């Protein structure tokens, strides 16, 4: 028996960090089934080469051959390119990876001024403005563009349940619903109301009684995130708010280069570092591999491999504590140096 | 000749801070036409009393009798209330106050760790998801809600011009366009493209040649705002991104209680503190009046009264530097204490 892992490096530093998943999974030894890797294409370079950003073979291989996957990053062209559309958004939809789970945790250091952050952003991953239903028309005063923002009870309920489950497993058991229902009373009203009512559903049967439900309007949620990050435990948000909030939370812990995520559905899970393709540091060998390494741990945890996930997380913490970090975190080490250290720490654990 | 100022205290601490506008304008003496004040109703309490959140008389008085106005804050009911909708969103639309201008500036203190922030968020104020065109239907899998996000060339052009004009008047002359066109290629594509093309319009005639145009995807803009706030000068954003970004920026300078704004159109201007109604501190006499006082200065500046605006701003800076601040800024003073100090500083300037 083996663990079949799809690797989709994508563009930019995606190609520099995704190899870390190979090394880290190999270092785990007998703690997981023997990993097998399947390299798959997607991204802007793929688009330039074959005319589509997400080849059908990639989707098919993920569906039929892989147990899980790691996605690196894709470049967004700076000019509008006809026919190009982000493969990550499409992948989330095609594989029905409806939850984007983004834990943001500050590593305890000797710096007493550092804020303690320990939260998870649970981002709905399939709808909101990401349905990409847009049109353009000519009105009396020029061009008018419209986009549809879709919020369904179905998607809100399943993301809400995922968030309740995650909250249940944490000491504070607090769930904050993020919305803007003071303006979007129908769409965000539905999101908020659907999630609030989950504990009362017959199928919940008292399961979530211990979870405290709070809520925050998105603008003030971002404000509070900076002022009092310690008030948050699990946050559940529609797609776009979740996108913004997870970047905001990443800023609190020092670097986007540290923040992992998984895109999870009921039958597949794909790890993805939250940072993008970072064209400014591409090719310099200094991309931070820790977000990818942590995404690999999250992916394993989601598959039920808790012990190896903990070994990876501990190794990452050790590397950070002992100063083996890339320049984005104030260190002087290369991608390879940091990866090497983490692998050492895993092997000796 | 007099300056007719509409005062709309609204709910919560709005009622505690708006009186500051009276005192401050009176303290300016002969620097402005004699102020006359017209108290006007709006908000959730008004809704509970008369059944509408924004009475027609309020709009009419603003249109026909006032030269300008100050809006306090309104409460958002925590449960959905049939028929209630935010009067501030409606006012912006009815008076065509298409630009929401929110300068966020850190006051230089002796604290060398404080980040230097000096930026203006120029937020489009009439469209995006704020058109509130929402509907609910029952689909196969339950309720489905949709909202329309509208971006027009017309509105993007006028907010863009306002932003270019503001950038022109600042030493760095830098304008950052905020968008998410990697997902919303049509709507945000139109916003970005329309603003980028303003310098080439015949009517611009080289006027904006000195302005450097940059752009940022909204999620990474929020991330960068926390990591490197000093990179920003003027930011121009569609309505919702501007809402979130201005709260995020406020977090950097210590308190929402410090951040002013004006809602500006071609023929009217309304000052508005960025903080909300703050039910948690309502009635305690400790609401920070500085955001309202600064909004009053911004309003005067927009009307062409530069010297009195500078006197107010300097008085606010003096109050902060000498520690006369409310608890949200770490001080022990009341709303009245702080207001009294600012008035003293204005009178002696
Ligand atoms: C690249 C972009 C489409 C994507 C998103 O908005 O989801 C990214 O910002 C992310 O957070 O994964
Ligand atoms: C109260 C709310 C409708 C409003 C907005 O979203 O515009 C507020 O957040 C603001 O920023 O003025």
Residues 6+ away with beta carbon under 8 Å from A220: B247, B276
What's the CA-to-centroid distance between A220 and ligand 2, angstroms?
10
DSSP 3-state of B323: coil
Q: Report how far apart, in Å, the C-alpha atoms of A211 and of each of A13, A99, A231, B167 are.
A: 39, 19, 15, 48
Q: What is the largest CA-CA distance in chain A?
A: 70
Residues 6+ away with beta carbon under 8 Å from A60: none
Nearest to B183 among A129, A150, A180 (CB): A129
Phi then psi dihedrals of residue A225, to 5 deg = -60, -35
Residue (of A103, A107, A96) closest to A122 by Cα position = A103
- Measured from the Cα of B243, ligand 2's closest atom is 11
Residues in chain B: 349
Q: Does pLDDT of B113 surpass 60?
A: no
Phi then psi dihedrals of residue B316, to 5 deg = -65, -45
The answer to whether residues A215 and A178 touch, using CB atoms and an 8 Å cutoff, is yes
DSSP 3-state of A262: strand
What ligand is nearest to the CA atom of residue B243? 2
Helix %, strand %, coil % of chain B (to 5): 45, 20, 35
Nearest to B153 among A142, A150, A186 (CB): A142
CA-based nearest residue in chain B for residue A134: B186
B250 CB near ligand 2 (under 6 Å): no
Residues 6+ away with beta carbon under 8 Å from B61: B6, B38, B40
The answer to whether residues A98 and A267 touch, using CB atoms and an 8 Å cutoff, is no
Based on the residue annotation, tell me whether B233 is a catalytic residue of this protein.
no
A223 CB near ligand 2 (under 6 Å): no
Query: For residue B77, with 0-12 CB atoms within 10 Å meaning exposed, 13-18 middle and 19 or more buried, which class applies?
Result: exposed
Nearest to A247 among B130, B141, B219 (CB): B219
Helix %, strand %, coil % of chain A (to 5): 45, 20, 35
Quick one: how far is CA B145 from the chain centroid? 29
Whole-number Å distance between alpha carbons of A174 and A235: 8
Whole-number Å distance between alpha carbons of A93 and A112: 42
B299 CB near ligand 2 (under 6 Å): no
The answer to whether residues A260 and A102 touch, using CB atoms and an 8 Å cutoff, is yes
> At how many degrees (to 10) do helices A306-321 and A290-302 cross?
160
Q: Report how far apart, in Å, the C-alpha atoms of B216 and of each of A149, A259, A260, B153, B200 are.
A: 22, 20, 22, 20, 21
Q: Report how far apart, in Å, the C-alpha atoms of A330 and of each of A113, A326, A333 are.
A: 16, 7, 9
The answer to whether residues B288 and B258 touch, using CB atoms and an 8 Å cutoff, is yes
Check B219, B223, B266, B332 and give the catalytic one. Answer: B219
pLDDT at position B109, please? 57
pLDDT at position A50, please? 95
Share the mean pLDDT of chain B. Answer: 95
Q: What DSSP string describes A41-110?
A: --SHHHHHHHS-SS-HHHHHHHHHH-SEEEEEE-PPPSS--TT---HHHHHHHHTT--EEEEEEEPPP-S
Based on the residue annotation, tell me whether B130 is a catalytic residue of this protein.
yes
The answer to whether residues A198 and A157 touch, using CB atoms and an 8 Å cutoff, is yes
Q: Mind telling me how many Å the CA of B110 is from chain A's nearest CA?
A: 18
B86 CB near ligand 2 (under 6 Å): yes
What's the CA-to-centroid distance between B54 and ligand 1, angstroms?
39
Q: Which chain A residues touch B131 with a CB distance below 8 Å?
A: none
Across the A:B interface, residue pairs with CB atoms under 8 Å apart total: 167
Mutate to test the interface with A, among B132, B178, B193, B240 (most CBs of A within 10 A): B240
- The more confidently predicted of residues B25 and A78 is B25
DSSP 3-state of A338: helix
CB contact under 8 A, B222 and A134: no
Which residue of A8, A88, A239, A263 sits with most ligand 1 atoms within 8 Å of its CB, as the best mutation to test the pocket?
A: A88
Nearest to B256 among A129, A186, A223 (CB): A223
Q: Does pLDDT of B110 surpass 60?
A: no
Neighbours of A265 (CB within 10 A): 17
A220 CB near ligand 2 (under 6 Å): no
Whole-number Å distance between alpha carbons of A93 and A226: 31
What's the CA-to-centroid distance between A318 and ligand 1, angstroms?
29
B124 CB near ligand 2 (under 6 Å): no
Q: Which chain A residues touch B141 with a CB distance below 8 Å?
A: 152-154
The answer to whether residues A122 and A159 touch, using CB atoms and an 8 Å cutoff, is yes
Q: Which chain B residues touch A189 with a CB distance below 8 Å?
A: 80, 145
Q: Mind telling me how many Å the CA of B88 is from chain A's nearest CA?
A: 10
pLDDT at position A111, please? 55
Neighbours of A116 (CB within 10 A): 10
Q: What is the pLDDT along chain A (349 residues), one digit of tens a residue?
A: 899 999 999 999 999 999 999 999 999 999 999 999 999 999 999 999 999 999 999 999 999 999 999 999 998 777 777 788 889 999 999 999 999 999 999 986 555 556 789 999 999 999 999 999 999 999 999 999 999 999 999 999 999 999 999 999 999 999 999 999 999 999 999 999 999 999 999 999 999 999 999 999 999 999 999 999 999 999 999 999 999 999 999 999 988 999 999 999 999 999 999 998 999 999 999 999 999 999 999 999 999 999 999 999 999 999 999 999 999 999 999 999 999 999 999 999 9
The model's pTM is 0.95
Nearest to A149 among B139, B149, B190 (CB): B149
What pLDDT, in 10s, does the model give residues B117-133?
999 999 999 999 999 99
CA-based nearest residue in chain B for residue A252: B226
Residues 6+ away with beta carbon under 8 Å from B197: none
Helices then strands (H, E): number in chain B? Answer: 12, 12
CB contact under 8 A, A149 and B151: no
Q: Report how far apart, in Å, the C-alpha atoms of B305 and of each of B23, B24, B33, B311 are.
A: 17, 14, 10, 11
CB contact under 8 A, A146 and B143: no
Q: Which chain B residues touch A248 with a CB distance below 8 Å?
A: 222-223, 226, 248
Structure tokens at B44: 């959730």
Whole-number Å distance between alpha carbons of A21 and A296: 6
Whole-number Å distance between alpha carbons of A293 and B150: 40
B270 CB near ligand 2 (under 6 Å): no
CB contact under 8 A, A187 and B85: no
Residue (of B28, B115, B182) closest to A240 by Cα position = B182
The answer to whether residues A166 and A120 touch, using CB atoms and an 8 Å cutoff, is yes
What pLDDT, in 10s, does the model give residues B275-306?
989 999 999 999 999 999 999 999 999 999 99
Check B11, B15, B161, B180 and give the catalytic one. Answer: B180
What ligand is nearest to the CA atom of residue A75? 1
Starting at the earlier edge strand, list the strands of the sheet with A2-10: A34-39, A2-10, A68-73, A269-271, A262-264, A99-105, A118-124, A234-237, A174-179, A212-217
Whole-number Å distance between alpha carbons of B14 and B332: 20
């Amino acid at each position: 028996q083996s663990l079949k892992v799809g690797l989709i490096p994508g563009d930019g530093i995606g190609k520099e960090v995704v190899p870390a998943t190979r090394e880290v999974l190999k270092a785990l030894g007998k703690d997981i089934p023997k990993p097998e890797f399947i390299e798959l294409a997607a991204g802007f370079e793929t688009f330039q080469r074959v005319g589509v950003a997400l080849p059908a073979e990639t989707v098919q291989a993920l569906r039929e051959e892989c147990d899980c996957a790691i996605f690196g990053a894709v470049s967004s062209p700076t000019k509008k390119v006809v026919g190009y559309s982000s493969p990550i958004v499409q992948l989330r939809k095609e594989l029905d990876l409806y939850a984007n789970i983004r834990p943001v945790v500050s590593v305890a250091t000797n710096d007493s001024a550092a804020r303690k952050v320990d939260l998870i952003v649970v981002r709905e991953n399939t709808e909101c403005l990401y349905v990409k239903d847009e049109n353009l028309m000519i009105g009396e005063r020029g061009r008018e563009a419209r986009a549809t923002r879709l919020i369904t009870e179905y998607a809100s309920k399943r993301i809400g349940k995922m968030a309740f489950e995650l909250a249940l497993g944490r000491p504070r058991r607090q769930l904050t619903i993020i919305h803007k229902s003071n303006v979007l009373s129908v769409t965000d009203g539905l999101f908020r109301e659907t999630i609030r009512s989950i504990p009362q559903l017959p199928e919940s049967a008292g399961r979530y009684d211990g979870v405290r439900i709070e809520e925050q309007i998105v603008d003030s949620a971002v404000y509070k995130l900076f002022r009092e990050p310690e008030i948050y435990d699990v946050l559940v948000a529609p797609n776009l708010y979740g996108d913004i909030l997870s970047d905001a939370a990443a800023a609190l812990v020092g670097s986007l280069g540290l923040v992992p995520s998984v895109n999870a559905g009921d039958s597949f899970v794909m790890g993805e570092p939250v940072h993008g393709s970072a064209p400014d540091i591409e090719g310099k060998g200094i991309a931070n591999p820790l977000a990818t390494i942590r995404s690999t741990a999250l992916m394993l945890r989601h598959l039920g491999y808790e012990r190896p996930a903990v070994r990876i997380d501990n190794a990452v913490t050790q590397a950070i504590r002992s100063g083996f970090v890339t320049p984005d975190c104030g260190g002087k080490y290369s991608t390879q140096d940091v990866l090497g250290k983490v692998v050492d720490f895993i092997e000796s654990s």
